[in-house]
Amino acid sequence: MSPYSTVVLAADLTEESTLLAERMKQIVGDSPCAVHIVHVIEPLSSAYGGDVPMDLSPVQDQIQDQAKIHLAEFGAQLGVPEDHQHLIFGRPQSEIHRVAGECDADLIVVGSHTRSGLARLLGSTANGVMDSAPCDVLAVHVGEG
């Protein structure tokens, strides 16, 4: 029996998300467990320093529309009900923490990439989630390296 009853799966909705889901299943096994999938979209304006000389709304809308489709497909594959699928705009680590707190999660599953140089100094979403997380965090190594 798993010690976890509510899990937040922080998914980027790439193929790596399937690896996260597999690891999560290995941890929780067949235990009855509520799963929440969180996908956070960073606003394009913040990704470019907030000072962009054009309206990025149409691009942001297109990103959101595609993310809705992919989140629904991923949720269906895992059998996660629609009300446990969260598509949010904001800073990933902050929003993942917020959702974990709201649903009283006892585990967050997040992907972690190998980083070097400047990327290591600036941190990553996985590091940000582990810092001050309201519960346990499983950082699953994904990607190259």
**Count of structural domains, the chain:** 1
User: For residues 138 and 108, is the Cβ–Cβ distance under 8 A?
Assistant: yes
CATH no. for residue 113? 3.40.50.620
Per the structure, the complete domain to which residue 41 belongs is given by 6-141
User: What is the rounded CA–CA span in Å between residue 129 and residue 45?
Assistant: 22
Q: For tokens 């999660």, name the residue.
A: 105
| 113 lies in some domain | yes
Q: Which residue has the tokens 């690896």?
A: 19
In a domain, 1, yes or no: no
pLDDT digits (tens, 9 = 90+) for 59-107: 788 989 999 999 999 999 999 999 999 999 999 999 999 999 999 999 9
Each residue's pLDDT tens digit, 20-56 = 999 999 998 888 899 999 999 988 666 555 565 666 6
Q: Where are the alpha helices (DSSP H) in 29-123?
A: 44-47, 57-78, 92-102, 118-122
Beta bridge partners of 6: 34
**Sign of dihedral through CA atoms 140, 9, 68, 88?**
negative
Q: Which pTM was predicted?
A: 0.85
